Each structure stands twice: as structure tokens, then as C-alpha cells.
Structure 1
């Protein structure tokens, strides 16, 4: 780079580090408010996918396996920190906004006691920062006893969320333990921490809601703000939803900005009412896995890599023959 390019990059890097400090300061402030019992505050993140079965057999390395997902939520309560792992496998749900949002919804229904709720997460667009999650947040402030919901985001590359420590503990616990079905993995999660055992919420298909359909009812506009400027969702650092102003999504591109920008979700007509808004289930039947994956899993059963105790689980998986 020439001198001008270097100077520009130095400025970008300095601003990047400043945003890192801002995010961590906001996290510390939220933790203090949670300890004072003024708000509910939680961090959440998806753990790296656990593919089952896992064992020391070399045959597994060359086979397609079944993904098991874990959306971990760390609640900074007044008395103690509570860890809840919302878990499911590929035959039950995918890994996207519907599943992550439904996990958050289960948490919010338990915490709807008149206090504001603040979430902090990374900036993953498909799971944390998108209009489908925003539609769910609007629904919750409108129809649950929650006056305000805040979503704040860490700076990419510098999140250092405490929920990452939980994932490291789980990874260490399952490192040398063979896993042949989802329930075995859930048991490892429950016993990974002796001091503060983690809760496991096994998600069924009845727990997953279609947030994409909810978005069509709750949000008609998400592209322009009230200043008629295009909203850059990838740069938003703070989203806020208010019960006393449910027609707007408030947002900031900088956590320390003095004022919020606003998105009016309904340009014309009346906002959504409880009679019009019904959370619909995301799935009506088990999700089919590919034929190749099913065949690979059956080969592992026949070869004895997967013990016979678990064969029924793999035989009953739905297969997409098309």
C-alpha cells in the first residue's frame, strides 16, 4: 500500500478497536443492571455443529453424519448465572432464524415479568441480525409483558462472549467420549460443568415457529428509515423495540450515538393486532435427510461402528428420496 492507503487503513483499524471497546462496555453496563434486578440480560450463540456419531473409528471420517445443533443462552440473573442449551437435530429443525428465534421466544416467555430484556450476540446475519428476528421481537413487546427489548451486537472478531467459554467446556467434555445419538450428546452437555450444571431444553418441532410468515404480518417496510434513507442492516449495532411505540424499530449504527434512527414498519394502514397475528408452526412433519447421508449412516450401523442399541433411531429417520 502507498502512504495514503496506509493512513486510511490505520483510521479504519482505530475505529474498529473503538467499537470493540464500546461493545464490551455496553455488556458490562447491562450485566450491572441485571445484577441490580432492573433488566434481564442474556448472551446467546450457536455452538459449532456436533456431527454424530463420533468415535475413534476411522470409518466415520469418510461418511456423512447427522448434525446436532445447540443454541446456548447465558442469562445473567440477580442471584446466579443460568445456562440453557436449546438443542435439536437435523431431522427436527434446520439452523436459521426460525430455530434461533424460537429458542429466544421460549426464553422471553419465561422472563416476561414487566422488565426490559437485553440480548447481546455476534453479528451473524442469518441467525442474529435480520428482519425475521426483528419481527419476533416486535411480536413479543406487543403481546407479552415486556416493555422494551434491546439487541446489541459485538464487533466482529472481538466478541469474546462469555457463552464461548461454555462452548469450550462442552467441547472439552465430549472430546474423548463417543456419541452415537442426540440424547448422548445432551447428557454430555448436562454434565459438562459440575459447579453450575447447564440446562438442556430439547426442542421438538412443535417448538419452532415460522418467523418468515410472521415477518409478512409484523413488518411491511424494513428497507428505508423515517429519513427516507436506505437501512444498512449489516452495519446496525443496536436494535430496540418499545411496547409504547410498536409501529417502529429503533436502531443505531454506533452504540454510543446520541439518538436512534427509526424504521416505520407499516407505511400505511393499521399495525398488526392480536387477532391478525398468529404464530404458525415452522414444520408439519419431520425433516428428510438426503439419501446419501441415510445410506452412510446405515453403513455405519451394519459395520458395527454404531452399536445395535442405536440402530432404530437411524432407521427411523425420514429420507428425501427425490
Structure 2
């Protein structure tokens, strides 16, 4: 809405799941074979190197600050995107495409050849949200047991990777 752009989001039909992203995952899996992974950032480099031509894949290392709180009800235009209201009516997983227009209205299709339909729910009038709140205030701690097990694995991990494992936030006992 802020940029006056309309978006069509399409969902794959069962049995027709080949898509452009499949070749990306395949290239990354091939590059991962026989590679040692000691740190999460190692996946970043493997992903980058999985394609050379026409250029490397673009990668971004994210941390807890990347994730936003989209689940806050006060930010929702619709309380549900279920296309029906009662038992036997279509469900969310029956949707094949969603159209987001630049005014905030959302429409759907249950098959690609049908016309766009409006959701049966009323639209909540909300202001354009320019910035969502962060989902997390700090790094998410792991359990003490997982932390302990990772510490034990340091005996087979290069010394220069140990500080990453030492700095993992964890619960006490």
C-alpha cells in the first residue's frame, strides 16, 4: 500500500510442485556434499558458491533482529483468510492464489481459472504500518543440555570456531 503496488501470490497445486527454487536447492545440496560445516556462516558461503554463472547467489546472514512481529492482531486487515465460514466450506489450504491490491483489499482464487473472490470477513481499517516491532529482544537461548552437548563437540571442531559455541546464550541447568 505504501508503495502503491499490487501483488499476486500463487500457491502450487498438489502434484505440480516443480518450481524455479528447486534448482537452487539442488545446487546448494550438491555443493554441500563432502563439505565440513562448523558454523552457521559456513552455510552462507556454500550457498554463495553454489552458482558461479551468471553470478553467485545473493546471500544475507540474518540474526534475531531480522524477525518482526507480524502476529500482532492490531496489524491485521483480516482476522482470517479462510474463504468459507462454516463446515464444508473451502479452507485456507484450498486457496490457489491471493491478490493484494494497493488499497489493502485482499481477494482469492480457489483455482487459477476462476475470478477473484472477496473474503467473507470484514476488512479492519488500519493505518499503513511502516515498521513492525521486533519479534525478539535478544538472542534466543538454547537449553542447557544442548549447550553442554555442543561444548562436548568442540573436541572435533577447529579451535577458531570455539568462541561461537562458547558465546551461545543458554538456560542455566
* SS of structure 1 residue aligned to 2:126: coil
Q: Which has the higher strand share?
A: 1
Q: Which residue does the alignment assign to 2:17?
A: 159
Aligned length: 170
Describe how 1:51-70 pairs up with structure 2 within 5 A: none
Q: Which residue does the alignment assign to 1:255?
A: 112
CA distance in 2, matches of 1:180, 1:197: 22
Q: Aligned-pair distance for 1:171?
A: 0.9
Deviations 1:136-163 (A, max 9, x none): xxxxxx22x1421111011123211121
Identify the structure with bigger relative contact order (alpha carbons < 8 Å, sequence gap 6+).
Answer: 2
TM superposition score normalised by structure 2? 0.86
CA distance in 2, matches of 1:251, 1:220: 13
Check 1:228–1:318 CA distance in 2 against 1; reply closer, same or farther (3 A cut).
closer
Structure 1 runs not aligned, ≥5 long: 1-141
Deviations 1:149-183 (A, max 9, x none): 11101112321112111111111111111010112
Check 1:184–1:278 CA distance in 2 against 1; reply closer, same or farther (3 A cut).
closer
Q: Which residue does the alignment assign to 2:98?
A: 239
CA contact (8 A) 2:95 2:110 kept: yes
CA contact (8 A) 2:8 2:97 kept: yes
CA distance in 2, matches of 1:273, 1:261: 24
Check 1:262–1:283 CA distance in 2 against 1; reply closer, same or farther (3 A cut).
same
Q: Which residue does the alignment assign to 2:147?
A: 294
Q: Aligned-pair distance for 1:209?
A: 0.8
CA contact (8 A) 1:251 1:262 kept: yes
CA distance in 2, matches of 1:295, 1:159: 40
Q: Which residue does the alignment assign to 1:308?
A: 159
* SS of structure 2 residue aligned to 1:319: coil
CA contact (8 A) 1:221 1:264 kept: no
Check 1:220–1:170 CA distance in 2 against 1; reply closer, same or farther (3 A cut).
closer
TM superposition score normalised by structure 1? 0.48
Deviations 1:44-77 (A, max 9, x none): xxxxxxxxxxxxxxxxxxxxxxxxxxxxxxxxxx
CA contact (8 A) 2:82 2:92 kept: no
The alignment yields a C-alpha RMSD, in angstroms, of 2.3
Deviations 1:249-285 (A, max 9, x none): 200111111x111126545xx61013x7751111101
Q: Which has the higher helix share?
A: 1
CA distance in 2, matches of 1:309, 1:273: 49
